[in-house]
Structures are given as structure tokens and as C-alpha cells.
Amino acid sequence: HQSNRGLVAARQTAIAAATGDYVIHCDADDWVDADYYEKLRDVALSTDADIVCSGCTLDFPSGRSKIIRPIVISTPDELVLAMTQKLKYSSLVVKLVRRDIAVRASLDIPLELDMGEDLLRSVSMLNISQVVATCECKGYHYVQNPSSMCRTLNQDRLNQFIRVVELLTSKYGIDRNQTVELRKQVLSMALKYRCLSIREFRRYRASVRESFLNPIKNFDNFESKRKTIKGKLKAAIYLV
């Protein structure tokens, strides 16, 4: 394995080396209950599912935990819809997938992606899946790391996410209006974690407007408001 080729290449290498009937990912700073994968496997075998989705537990540095219940779905299309409304449902670490489907889906993922790769890979897998099942377990512990990729956004990662959204519509036929929530979420995250200054945000907003071939209705009404809270500049996003 050639080192330092990025997240996508590392996952593709792992999937290619896997020999089991199913595969699943685990982030390096997370952990799972001892019986978590066994429970997913049992659901997969009993339902003959191509993909099994579960819930998870968010572990915060303060010691507090929050349970994210699995979304109840019965078809791949339902999961795609859920993921475009809530990014948390797109995570690969809570999806057990048939290995042959994971291998085929890997061929569609650009190697240079970091931001949005989970979402694109999940949609790619669902596009060639027939049966999707839900496991009620929450044994994956997703450690909330302040220095994680989603909390250290920058211009390049935000642009990558825009590319992912474009691919969802151009390659997989997802309705453009269905991606409105995704665009709002990524801009909200950028401001929430103060990844962009107001000047950078305006420049990014302009690049978003130019990136989409068919901008969403009333995109010109997308604006930022500045507020000073405890001496720090924040912005609230509104979409009319």
C-alpha cells in the first residue's frame, strides 16, 4: 500500500484486501462494543440485506454521551432521501455492506476527495443495492473530536463538498431541490466552527453560486448576518 494517498485510497485498499462477505469501516479514534459487529451480521444474515444500518453513540470530551437512533428505512431510495436531509445518516462507520457492492461502489469515488466522501460512497452503494435493513443497536461510539475533519473545515474541503453535491445530481440523478439542505448544512458548519471569516464566507458563497449549473430558486436571497457574541464574530445563514 502506497502511503499518504488520502482517505479514499486507504479505504479502497482495505476493501480490496477484505475477504469476508461483508465489510464495514471504523475510524481510528472511535471504538465499538464487543458485540456490535455480531449484531449487524445477524441482521444481515436474517434479512439477506445488501446494507445494514445502525445507530451510534456520540461520546463527548466532557464525558457526556448522546444516542443517535437508527433511521428506519425499507428501501435504498428512503435512505438516500434521509442522507440528503441529515448528513449524520451518511456515515460509513454505521453501515455493514456486502463486499462486492463496496468494491463496485469504490470505482466511482474520486481519489482526491476528503469532505463528503461518506455521502458519495453511500449513495453509490445504494444505487446498486436491493435490500436495506436496520439494526436497532447503538454500539458504535463516535468520539467527538474538536480537531476532526468536519470541525476543521477550510475552503478546499468546502469546495470538495460542492463537487460531491454536483455528482449526486449529475451522476446519480438526485433531484437538485433535494440537495438544498446539504448546501445549507455545510455552510452552517463552516460558520458554526468559525472555519471561515465573513470575507471568506462571502467569497465561498459566490463560488457556490457559480459552481451549480442551475442555481436554486432565490439563491440571491442567501445572506449572512453578523453578530458580536462574547467578542467573537458569528454569522447566521438564512435561505428564503
224 contacts: CB under 8 Å, gap ≥ 6: 191, 198, 201, 202, 205, 235, 236, 237
Per-residue confidence of the chain (240 residues) as pLDDT tens digits? 566 667 778 888 888 889 999 999 998 889 999 999 999 999 999 999 999 999 999 999 999 999 998 877 767 677 777 877 776 788 899 999 999 999 998 887 888 887 888 888 888 898 899 999 999 999 999 998 877 766 666 777 777 887 888 888 888 888 777 777 777 776 676 666 666 666 766 765 665 555 443 433 333 333 333 333 333 333 333 332
Longest dimension (CA), the chain: 56
- Cα–Cα distance measured from residue 138 to residue 161, given in angstroms and rounded to the nearest whole number: 27
Q: What is the pTM of this model?
A: 0.76
The sign one gets for the Cα dihedral 43, 84, 121, 151 is: negative
217 contacts: CB under 8 Å, gap ≥ 6: none
